[in-house]
Amino acid sequence: MNELAKAKALSLTERARRAAAVAAANADDVDAAGRFPREAVDAMKAERLLGIQIPAYLGGESATTAEIAEVCCILGQACAASGMVFAMHQIKASSLVSHGEGAPWHEAYMRRIAADQLLLASATTEGGIGGNLRNSICAIEVDGDTCRLTKDATVISYATEADAILITSRARADSAPSDQVMTVFEKGQYTLEKTHHWDTLGMRGTRSDGFIFKGEAPAEQILPKPFAEIAAQSMLANSHILWSGVWFGIASDAFARAQVFVRAAARKTPGTVPPGALRLAEASNLLQLVKSNILAALQQYDAAQKDETKLSSMGFAVAMNNVKIASSQTILEIINHCLLIAGIMGYKNGTPYSLGRHLRDAHSAQLMISNDRILGNTSTMLLVNKQDTSLLG
């Protein structure tokens, strides 16, 4: 049996759980040392998880966004940084899967992602632009069959560990800031000169250092569709849903810890309901809200994928923005409830109820494309887009 056949003998969730067990065992060390979760990513590769989204005819498993979100959630429960590395890789893969089909270079590359379990990184953030990913300062230079790009990429997660970086730029030297393309540069086709060190509150294992990126590659590695389309049709939904999958994972692990705490207290004092139980009920309510919201988004994305006008509509963009805002804010409330339930045992590191890492990791969610920026975009769209007032529509 080949590697893929062996992996596929187990269900996707079983494979994710096995990788998650490795991630969990290293999570505290990854966090404390601020190091790349090498063991977890190796385990993802061993479970053949990096290629699941690639279409089956290119050697992948044609996994759906829902299935990938479930893997994000499972990994996120074990180690948020590992889950986020997986999510970010899959978001980049979604750009190739949705917009690279029919392009010979990109199809061949998708084959290699599945066969060799290649890890993809992302460079959209730019000095002077921040999280406004629909704008670039840098421009790609196409010179015959070759393209060249220099970018002040202030945040690239696991850049030095990745097999390729998908990077945005203006399409030409004379393009407007919003006229962008995305290009795949393979390791060996670029140099990275480190400019910013990632020593952060949380998500420390993503190692999102800053670099001056300098690349040169065959021009056919530029994705054939404008980045505007990629951003609207695959990246927006995939990033907000898959990030939310990881964030839900963080919150649900925090909840599980708080619940163990409450149940232990209940067993110690039979006949009484422990004080934390009421808060646990509140946290359960919020957790369900986050979950329902992600599930609704998955349904909406699934429906929109069959209808390109819907996919690029404002209503869809508003809905996807709302998912990100809701999950990034609500997980903080949930984890805070859990911390109040577990008290000092949750505040301390190294107990079965520790929540420090969860809380620190969760705080990145609001900044990962600033919520204020996203709300700003939504508020602009709501000037013309009328809210769908139906329940089922």
Residues that bind other proteins (CB under 8 A): 134-135, 171, 175-179, 226, 228-229, 232, 309, 312-315, 377, 380-381, 383-386, 388
| Triad 266, 272, 273: Cα angle to 5° | 65
| Shortest Cβ 68–other proteins spacing (Å) | 25
Task: Evaluate whether 301 touches 222 at the Cβ level (below 8 Å).
Answer: no
Shortest distance, CB of residue 377 to ligand FAD, whole angstroms?
8
Do residues 30 and 79 make contact, with C-beta atoms less than 8 angstroms apart?
Answer: yes
**CB nearer to ligand FAD: pick between 351 and 371:** 371
Which option in other proteins, ligand FAD, none does residue 203 bind, with CB closer than 5 to 8 A by kind?
ligand FAD
CA distance 294 to 288: 10
Smallest distance from other proteins to CB 38, Å: 39
385 binds, among other proteins, ligand FAD, none (CB under 5 to 8 A by kind): other proteins
Q: Which residues pair with 191 in a beta bridge?
A: 214
- Alpha-carbon distance of 150 to 90, in angstroms, equals 25
Coil, helix or strand at residue 162: coil
Shortest distance (Å) from residue 344 CB to ligand FAD: 28
294's contact among ligand FAD, other proteins, none, with CB below 5 to 8 A by partner kind, is none
Which tokens is 75 given?
A: 């990994």
Could you say which of other proteins, ligand FAD, none residue 127 binds, taking C-beta under 5 to 8 angstroms by partner kind? none
**Which residues are at the interface with ligand FAD (CB under 6 A)?**
84, 88, 121-125, 130-131, 155-157, 203, 206, 208, 364, 367-370, 372-373, 376
CA nearest neighbour of 155 among 317, 367, 366, 375: 367
Minimum CB separation of residue 309 from other proteins in Å reads 6
d(CA 260, CA 73): 20
Binding site partner of 64, from ligand FAD, other proteins, none, Cβ cut-off 5-8 A by kind: none
**CB nearer to ligand FAD: pick between 259 and 377:** 377
* Interatomic CA distance for residues 196 and 25, integer angstroms: 29
Phi first, then psi, for residue 100 (nearest 5°) are -105, -5
